Amino acid sequence: AVSESDLVPGFRFSRCSYLLSLLRPALIRELELERHGLKLLPRSPSSFTPCLDGRYLLLGPEAELNRSEIGKFSKKDAEAYPRYEEQLEKFCKLMDFVIDSPPPELRQLYHASMVDRMKDKVDKSVFWSKLLGIVMQQGQKDMVNFFDLLLSPASKILNNWFEGDVLKATLATDAVIGTMAGVNTPGSGYVLLHHIMGETGGQRGVWAYVEGGMGSVSSAISKAALEAGVQIVTNAEVSQVMVDENTGKVQGVALVDGTELHSSVVLSNATPYKTFVDLVPANTLPEEFLCAIKTADYSSATTKINVAVNALPQFRCCKNINPEGGPEHMGTIHIGSESMEE
């Protein structure tokens, strides 16, 4: 989440991350990020798909807009779309608990005290019993549909719901963006949930731009941290995570310049490979765990370019030319994708 101003003079770019929705609401509230300068600009409409035959599809958070726009292509799809979003929202409520809960870790507790082992068992049983309760509330039919969504290709899910190619192509983009997969890849259906899993200002499925670019997210978090007494050091490359050879417990990190920073806890937001293979000393972690880390696939199908333009693009399918920007410029623009195959 970085804003760059030195790529093209006069322009600021969100270099990598470019939209906000999946940052958990609890974090925004607890860190008071809005008080520390985070200002979200909800997208409405959120997507625009121009067609070669002169038609276009706008989608956004407003139900009436979606009904009207989808109805231009299919009345049946216009009726089905609210039900589709309602079902995804149901599944998101189940996912909310999983995402917002500490994961039940598979820890080796050979040398732990009886109290620690009992606490570990209680924590795990609480997590699984709560999850089971949420699953039971869903009902059998919804759970069958939920597992179908998790395991199926996005194309199958969307073909079951809709008949219009342009709508399916627009929604399918959400299933493959950032994923080394196509719409016919099993499991790509799950990524459809990301379209609606996040929220902005309490509104489910609404994505937002961040005023000042995505670097404003990092800036707000750093201000909250500094206020809480955190010391932030930048341009300090870590060479190794220090681990006690006898106990196997972390002791801190060593920097490239030789400085040692001692701590009983180390958090890393580098990749698991960089953290556990490159930074943690060899022969510290179980071989089975390291094998899983080494075989993780980091390949991506996404390319992002940043472009500075002297005017906004104009689309033949829009009768009203908007040199200053119209609804078609407010969200994601899907070019050359009128079918899932394209």
The reported pLDDT for the residue numbered 111 is 65
90-141 per-position pLDDT tens digit: 888 888 888 888 878 776 655 667 787 788 788 888 888 888 888 888 788 8
Give the residue numbers spanning the domain of 283: 233-295
Q: Residue 11 in contact with residue 310, Cβ under 8 Å?
A: no
Residue 256 lies in a domain: yes
Strand duo 238-243 + 250-255: pairing: antiparallel
Cα–Cα dist 226/221, whole Å: 9
Amino acid at 243: V
Same domain, yes or no, for 145 and 277? no
Task: Tally Cβ neighbours within 10 Å of residue 27.
Answer: 12
Shared domain check, 325 and 255: no
Residues 252, 125 share a domain = no
Same domain, 171 and 289: no
Cβ 216 vs Cβ 226: under 8 Å: no
pLDDT of residue 160: 96
Q: What is the Cα gyration radius of the chain?
A: 24
Same domain, 192 and 88: yes
> Looking at the predicted structure, is the pLDDT value of residue 29 above 90?
yes
Looking at the structure, do residues 170 and 317 belong to the same domain, yes or no?
Answer: yes
What pTM does this model have? Answer: 0.85
Using one digit for the tens of pLDDT, what is the confidence trace for 246-286?
888 999 999 999 999 999 999 999 999 999 999 999 989 98
Q: Which has more pLDDT, 89 or 238?
A: 238
| pLDDT tens digits along 201-220 | 888 888 999 999 999 999 99
For the chain, the 3-state helix, strand and coil shares in percent, each to the nearest 5, are: 40, 10, 45
Q: pLDDT tens for residues 133-167?
A: 888 887 888 888 888 998 999 999 999 999 999 99
DSSP reduced 3-state for 90: helix
Closest by CA to 174, choosing from 299, 331, 3, 54, is 331
Residue 191 shares a structural domain with residue 249: no
Q: Total structural domains in the chain?
A: 2
Q: What is the mean pLDDT of the segment spanning 42-54?
A: 93
Strands 13-14 and 199-200: unpaired
